[in-house]
């Protein structure tokens, strides 16, 4: 846990450092003019750089960060461990079937039943599987799960999610600052900066929550497409069997860390479903059983 927190803080410091340099080069030091008026052009650049830039820098670092945060051990298919070499061969073959470069392939020590794909592009991607998943599933089910993750790479889901998150970040920052500026103009100038700061923080939290509904909705949609890819690569019945196995092992999926939610293969239940990055497994199975697979 301590390692993950440290890497999270390190990543955010790196993002802040790089974006501060970019804004300096663009000559955007402030979006409030010398006359005390809001400069919308400068504000738009400021928000786009921080919103989109932060999302894309995080994407570029995603593979490196995931390997270190999760303790992923990369495989080369020549370990001498029959199960791990089989895993490497299976994912390599699925990538070739999907007309993709073979991604980095890894395994990480964890009792949770999970697998994930990440990386900034189809050429620089990673598929990692937990030891808990390897111990809990039959090989045909493991192959379906890895096919699902290869499907994420083939569909370009990581880049698309980054674009959506970046746009939402920029809009949240833009509107929060405009509203905060307007509100602060109605109070005494001695406290206007404090009012502006408090209102901006509150609005960024509230608008960010609303924005997360959009990203979660899109993430759920991409899971159905990835399930279809897994069914195409490993067989519909194997994908359904894998999802049923996940449902039976739902308590062994750690969903407590929101920042890692998209790296999990199951989501929340009840009213929290609106914020879940993954649909209920029952819906995923029903979609597969009625889908026309190519």
Structure confidence by residue, pLDDT tens digits, 119-155? 999 999 999 999 999 999 999 999 999 999 999 999 9
Least confident of 27-36, 40-49, 149-158, 162-171: 27-36
Other Cβ atoms closer than 10 A to 259:
11
Out of 104, 112, 141, 149, pick the active-site residue. Answer: 149
Look at strands 73-74 and 104-108 and give their pairing.
antiparallel
d(CA 206, CA 171): 12
pLDDT at 267 over 70: no
Query: Is residue 90 within 8 Å of residue 146, measured between CB atoms?
Result: yes
pLDDT band at 260 (very low <50, low <70, confident <90, very high): very low
Is the pTM higher than 0.85? The answer reads no
Is 149 one of the annotated active-site residues of the chain?
Answer: yes
Least confident of 5-9, 85-89, 111-115, 251-255: 251-255
Give the pLDDT of residue 251.
65
Give the pLDDT of residue 177.
94
Least confident of 20-24, 185-189, 265-269: 265-269
Question: What mean pLDDT is predicted for residues 106-111?
Answer: 95
pLDDT at 263 over 70: no
């Amino acid at each position: 846990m301590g390692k993950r927190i440290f890497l999270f803080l390190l990543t955010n410091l790196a993002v802040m450092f790089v974006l501060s340099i970019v804004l300096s080069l663009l000559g955007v030091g402030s979006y409030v003019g010398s006359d005390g008026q809001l400069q919308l052009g400068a504000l738009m650049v400021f928000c786009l750089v921080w919103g989109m830039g932060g999302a894309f820098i995080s994407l570029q670092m995603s593979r490196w960060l995931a390997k270190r945060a999760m303790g992923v051990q990369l495989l080369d298919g020549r370990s001498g461990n029959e199960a791990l070499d089989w895993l490497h061969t299976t994912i390599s073959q699925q990538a070739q079937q999907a007309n993709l470069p073979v991604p980095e392939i890894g395994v990480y020590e964890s009792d949770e039943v999970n697998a994930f794909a990440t990386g900034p592009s189809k050429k620089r991607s990673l598929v990692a599987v937990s030891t808990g998943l390897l111990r809990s599933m039959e090989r045909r089910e493991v192959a379906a799960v890895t096919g699902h993750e290869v499907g994420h790479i083939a569909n370009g889901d990581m880049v698309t999610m980054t674009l959506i998150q970046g746009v939402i970040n920029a809009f949240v920052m833009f509107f929060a600052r405009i509203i905060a500026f307007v509100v602060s103009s109605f109070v005494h100038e001695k406290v206007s900066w404090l009012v502006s700061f408090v209102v901006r923080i509150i609005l960024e939290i509230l608008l960010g929550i609303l924005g997360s509904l959009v990203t979660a909705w899109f993430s759920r949609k991409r899971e159905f497409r990835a399930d279809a890819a897994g069914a195409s690569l490993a067989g519909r019945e194997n994908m359904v069997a894998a999802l049923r196995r996940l449902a039976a092992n739902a308590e062994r999926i750690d969903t407590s860390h929101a920042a890692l939610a998209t790296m999990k293969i199951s989501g929340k239940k009840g009213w929290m479903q609106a914020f879940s990055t993954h649909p209920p497994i029952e819906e995923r199975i029903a979609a597969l059983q009625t889908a026309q697979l190519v």
